[in-house]
Chain A
Amino acid sequence: MSFLDIGLALLVVLVAVWTIAAQDLFASAVGYVAYGLLLALVWIRLYAPDVALTEAAVGSGVTGVLLIAASKRLGALKIAALEAPPSLAFKLLTGVLALLVASALAAAILMLPDPPPSLAPEAAVAAEGPGAGLGNPITAVLISYRSFDTMLEKVVLILAVLGVWSVGADQAWGGAPAPLRRSKPYPAMVFLAQMLAPVGALIGIHVFWVGADAPGGAFQGGALLAAMWMVAMMARLRDPPRIDAQWLRLALVAGPAVFLVTGLAGVVMAGNFFAYPPGLAKPIILFIEAFMLMSIAVALPALVAGPPSGRSEQ
């Protein structure tokens, strides 16, 4: 176990402690983004490059944008958070509880079974067989071995978007969410958006395409595309679309819809729900992933943009 591992572990815990202990909400959010990036390095050390990509893009990047935008909107409401600080006894009790939970989890980890059980052989079979030709076993697992889970996860994303939209005022339904910045954008921001967005979109599509054989995939590529759209929205080059826009709703639903139809077609063509006919597996998987990419790239900015805001709201 090298110096790098120990140093990374220490750094991750220290940044997490700082995120909890920081006085200011903005400082805490920035600490969380830094923590996410360090965690991506830990994932690389654990031989999980796809997870590292997803953590850096979604877990740290897009969540960071969400939290910072939320803290800005909360600040704009101009209401003070008046709270009585918790008493020392309460803090001690909570500390003891947290310590107990952490120790129980640590004990469970130290007592993990020693010839470690593994589902890797099943995944290898899935990558060879129905996911034929896929060099990335994680893509094979996502779209072929656990395809139903992935489709339901896309449906969960749509449910979250519906939930976020429902939170707005009744008379604002159908309108557009508030723009991500109120006033005129800074020229530096516009320059960044105009240069970065096309390059970032290309990289996102590349990450998606390469994900069939190398680390990458629809989630990571979709997160990159979503981030580029958010950069464009932050520079007011585009405003968040109206939530009753036909293309928005079609793009959102396209991912799981295509997935479901392909799964049902598998009953007819390959004899089983979500089975792919051999030989056609890789093109079908890429076809499904392309629509998933579009869905994710549309759902993530919709979640960050928030509920529609009518005239009566801010």
Chain B
Amino acid sequence: MTPSILAGLVGAALVGLGLYGLILHPHPLRKLLAFNLIGSGVFLVFGIVARRGAAAGFPFDPIPQAMIITGIVVAFAASALAVALILRLSAKSGRVTLDPDAWAKQNGADAK
């Protein structure tokens, strides 16, 4: 088992962990954290593909690595948008939850 395969297995484990946290945690920000964990696990799998593609004089394959760099920045942008939505939702609805039934129980003060 090479270091790349070990890192790939770690990536798979991270995706599983993140999925567990995403489904189970009721707090929206912790769901976001778990989602970021899934994302970084996927990037790790990409990264070992890049490492295994060492050829043409480079010790790595630059193209998947460039895509990972792009992906990390886009993942941050998506997280920032999610945070803004969560904060606004919590400020408007008065509850920190993504459960739509909790919303429906509020009468009057929701629409804006």
Q: A residues engaging B (CB < 8 A)?
A: 1-2, 5-6, 9, 12-13, 16-17, 19-20, 25, 28-29, 32, 35-36, 39, 42-43, 45-48, 50-51, 54-55, 58-59, 62-63, 66-67, 70-71, 73-74, 77, 79-83, 85-86, 90-91, 94-95, 97-99, 101-103, 105-106, 109-110, 112, 116-124, 127, 137-138, 140-142, 145-146, 149-150, 153, 156-157, 160, 163-164, 167-168, 217, 219, 296, 299-300, 303-304, 306-307, 313-314
Contacts and interface: CB of A to CB of B under 8 A. Distances in A.
Contacts of A39: 40, 44
A218 to B, nearest CB: 10
A102 B90 contact: no
How many chain B residues sit at the interface, stated as a range, is 35 or more
Contacts of A43: 47
Contacts of A85: 26
Contact of B50 (A25, A48, A81, A314): A48
A296 B34 CA distance: 25
Nearest first, the 10 A-B pairs at minimum CB distance are A102-B16, A118-B53, A303-B80, A160-B77, A83-B26, A105-B12, A109-B8, A116-B52, A20-B21, A98-B20
* Contact residues of B: prevailing secondary structure: helix
Contact of B87 (A116, A141, A306): A306
B1 interface: yes
Interface string B29-59: 1101110110010011101111111111111
Contacts of A156: 74, 77
Nearest to B9: A106
Contacts of B25: 20
A109 B48 contact: yes
Nearest to A85: B26
A45 B17 contact: no
A86 to B, nearest CB: 6
B84 A167 contact: yes
Given A54-B68, A102-B13, 16 more contacts: A12-B10, A20-B17, A20-B20, A43-B47, A45-B3, A55-B72, A77-B90, A79-B90, A80-B96, A83-B99, A119-B61, A138-B69, A150-B70, A157-B74, A160-B77, A314-B91
A131 to B, nearest CB: 11
Contacts of A110: 5, 9
A163 B84 contact: yes
A109 B80 contact: no
29 contacts: A5-B6, A13-B13, A16-B17, A19-B37, A32-B37, A43-B47, A63-B76, A66-B80, A67-B29, A70-B83, A81-B26, A83-B26, A85-B26, A86-B24, A102-B17, A109-B11, A109-B48, A116-B53, A118-B56, A119-B61, A120-B58, A120-B61, A123-B58, A123-B61, A124-B56, A141-B62, A156-B74, A157-B73, A303-B81
A306 B90 CA distance: 15
B44 A25 contact: no
Contacts of B36: 32, 59, 63
Given A20-B37, A66-B83, A86-B24, A105 B45 contact: yes
A231 to B, nearest CB: 17
